[in-house]
Amino acid sequence: MSFGIGKDISGQVVVGELGKMPHLLIAGQTGSGKSVMINTLLCSLLYRNSPSDMKLILVDPKQVEMAPYADIPHLLTPVINEPEKTISALKWAGNEMERRYKLLAGEKIRNIKEYNKRLQSRAKKIAIADENGNVQEHEDGSMPYIVIVVDEMSDLHDDG
């Protein structure tokens, strides 16, 4: 899952790959472009991935940065603004990660891309439950990538 980062000092486009860096921290002083980077990342991912290929959990304690994404079909849960709901969503994500590890191990596969190829050849359906227990079935049998974006982690830490 590639995404645009920006341009380097020579003007060449820089692209990141979530498969090679699944954990990403964006840090900088006020006004340095952190929110611009987050929006660039999200727009790149949304442009390249359908809702059946990628799901998002967006956390926005200030309730301003993620507001434009409130109605997109990629969301697993509405944009999260409260620390308690953030903790719940992250616990769900941890449980989902463990479930996926077991599925991958059962198929003797190491990543989502290979898993999806195998399942598509079988035309198998899978279901994913969100943090409220609502189940969404995926027609193509694929396991969507789940991307979690937390804006202003320090605000959650200070409040929670």
Question: What is the domain partition of the chain in residue ranges?
Answer: 2-159
Does residue 120 have a known ligand-binding role? no
- In this predicted structure, the answer to whether residue 158 has a pLDDT above a threshold of 60 is no
Residues constituting the chain: 160
The pLDDT of residue 6 is 81
Does residue 160 have a known ligand-binding role? no
- For β-strands 126-129 and 135-138, DSSP reports them as antiparallel
Give mean pLDDT, residues 104-124: 83
Does residue 40 have a known ligand-binding role? no
Does residue 32 have a known ligand-binding role? yes
Give mean pLDDT, residues 68-90: 94
Give mean pLDDT, residues 87-111: 92
- In this predicted structure, the answer to whether residue 160 has a pLDDT above a threshold of 50 is no
Does residue 29 have a known ligand-binding role? yes
Give mean pLDDT, residues 58-71: 92
Rg (CA), the chain: 17
Residue 123 vs residue 151, higher pLDDT: 151
Does residue 31 have a known ligand-binding role? yes
Model confidence at 82, in pLDDT bands (50, 70, 90)?
A: very high
Mean pLDDT of the chain: 85
Does residue 28 have a known ligand-binding role? yes
The CA-based dihedral angle spanning residues 12, 27, 147, 50, taken in that order and rounded to the nearest 10 degrees: -40
Does residue 16 have a known ligand-binding role? no
Domain 2-159: top CATH class: alpha beta
